Amino acid sequence: MSRNISVNRLSGTPVSQQKVEYVERKGIGHPDSLIDGICDATSHALSREYLERCDNTILHHNVDKGLIIGGASQARFGYGKITKKIEVIVAGRATDRYRGVKIDVNDIAKEVAMKYLKENTRFLDVNNEVTFVSKIARGSADLTDVFIRNSKNNDVPLANDTSFGIGFAPFTDIEKLVLETERYLNSRAYKAILPSVGEDIKVMGFRNGDEITLTIAIAFVAKLVKNLDIYLSYKEKVRKDVLRFAAKLVDKKVNVFVNTADPEDSDAVYLTKTGLSCEAGDDGSVGRGNRVNGLITPFRPMSLEAAAGKNPINHIGKIYNILATEIANDVVKNYPSIIECNLAIMSQIGKKIDQPLNLNLEIATGKGENFDNIKSKAKYIADGRLEKIGDFTIDISLGKYKTF
């Protein structure tokens, strides 16, 4: 099968060789990440419900419109209280009837949202401190038709949009460091060491030559911090722990700053009742956070698509962004000396998703590499991934790939 795949040399300077680099990660408790997680978990739950009750078929849905509206709270050393509830709103489109079977899509969304927050936060009283609103309606007739067309013959799904996906590999040193630092601070192991560190963590990385600066924002849990001296000691412990952690990952000078907005000699520090900034006015929206690789990378090619919550069967904004990332990683695994591999895939609405309008790879090779050999292999890898895109979409529907 002939596919529109092109492989070219990278025309610019690889990011790792540029003087300056910015990288950001919004942690699992950041409001943008929380609503991404809720909406994607809703898509997974709907997919399972459809498979079980609708002739083993995932029906049309896109629940990629979600919002967390921050509440209000009081927090001081040793004490925290929610004074206005956090509000979670999930919206989008989903099939709610199939051959006489009614699917309670809004009830599913509310149950999923509660379960997700309970599993991913420690100090939020989900039953009493959060309100849930689901406004999922039926999908438009034209997009639903695109979704089900050819399904009777189990043919390759048709793209629901003219859009594109972006991926790249390998991660640079600072990209790896930013991603893994947040995961480290939000790990169960670290929470056992320092439970006052809340889930709302943001890591911003800045590289200037061979020197990296990490600026970390952490919502500390007020009831576990008794006074200012203890708070300052916890901040210093986090700083030193991250420095030791970074030394194992990168061979560069690393500077670490924690909660730089804290005033000197004042109790007005970053304390929360729940370990979440959304308890006191910080809002969250689907698609404003990490890309599907877990990072925000302004010095890299990026898609602005909100992947979380989109259906995993024919929504290009989800499928192609994840697929592009996977293909780029596959290419680099085969040729570890590749300095940079950027990949873009573009669809046309109504066309089969295994037949993109174009799939383009840009590769910067290391010294001594035969580009023609890499070009041939990269094209083969991309073609093979497209050939098995049906299995890939099922894996996405089962939650095997992260979207943030």
Q: Is the pLDDT of residue 144 over 70?
A: no
Q: In what order do the strands lie in the sheet with 5-9?
A: 5-9, 358-364, 340-346, 164-169
The yes-or-no verdict on residue 108 having pLDDT over 60 is: yes
Residue 257's φ and ψ, nearest 5 degrees, are: -125, 140
Confidence category of residue 154, pLDDT binned at 50, 70, 90: low
> Taking 90 as the threshold, does the pLDDT of residue 114 lie above it?
yes
pLDDT for the residue numbered 146: 55
Provide mean pLDDT across the span 81-95: 97
Residue 337 located in a structural domain: yes
| 298 and 167 co-located in one domain | yes
Please tell me the predicted confidence (pLDDT) of residue 238.
98
| Cβ proximity of 310 and 331 under 8 Å | no
Question: pLDDT value at position 141?
Answer: 46
What CATH number should be reported for the domain holding residue 122? 3.30.300.10
Is there a single domain that holds both residue 368 and residue 279?
no
Over residues 242-261, mean pLDDT: 97
Return the minimum-mean-pLDDT range out of 69-73, 114-118, 261-265.
261-265
Which residue has better confidence, 360 or 154?
360
Model confidence at 265: pLDDT above 80? no
Question: Could you tell me if 387 and 350 lie in one domain?
Answer: yes
What value does the mean pLDDT take over residues 75-84? 97
- Residue 25 is assigned to a structural domain of this protein: no
Same domain, 265 and 294: no
Q: What percent of the chain has pLDDT over 90?
A: 88
The model's pLDDT over 277-290, given as tens digits with 9 standing for 90+, comes to 999 989 999 999 99
In a domain, 179, yes or no: yes
Residue range(s) defining the domain that contains residue 52: 31-151
| CATH number for the domain harbouring residue 240 | 3.30.300.340
167 and 307 co-located in one domain: yes
Mean per-residue pLDDT for 153-177?
92
CATH of the domain at 333: 3.30.300.280
DSSP 156-189: PPBPSSS-EEEEEESPPHHHHHHHHHHHHHTSHH
Q: Give domain status of residue 145, yes or no.
A: yes
Quote the CA–CA distance of 346 and 161 in Å, as a whole number: 10
Domain shared by 296 and 264, yes or no:
no
Boundary (domain end) residue, out of 285, 312, 336: 285
Within a domain: 230: yes
Shared domain for 300 and 199, answered yes or no, is no
What per-residue confidence (pLDDT) applies to 230?
A: 97
Please give the average per-residue pLDDT across 262-268, as a whole number.
Answer: 85
276 and 178 within one domain: yes
Question: What's the mean per-residue pLDDT of the chain?
Answer: 94
Q: Do 141 and 194 share a domain, yes or no?
A: no
263 pLDDT higher than 50? yes
When pLDDT is averaged across residues 250-261 and rounded to a whole number, the result is 97
Does 300 map to a domain? yes
Kindly indicate the confidence band of residue 224, based on its pLDDT and cuts at 50, 70 and 90.
very high
Which of the listed ranges 43-57, 107-121, 138-152 does the model predict with the highest average pLDDT? 107-121
Domain count for the chain = 3
In this structure, the answer to whether residues 305 and 360 fall within a common structural domain is yes
Judge whether 70 and 37 are in contact, CB under 8 Å: no
Domain boundary among 285, 312, 337: 285
Cβ atoms within 10 Å of 131's Cβ, excluding its own: 12
Q: Establish if 156 belongs to a structural domain.
A: no
Residue 19 lies in a domain: no
- The reply to whether 254 and 346 lie within a common domain is no
Q: What is the rounded distance in angstroms from the CA atom of residue 208 to the CA atom of residue 145?
A: 51
Same-domain check for residues 133 and 35: yes
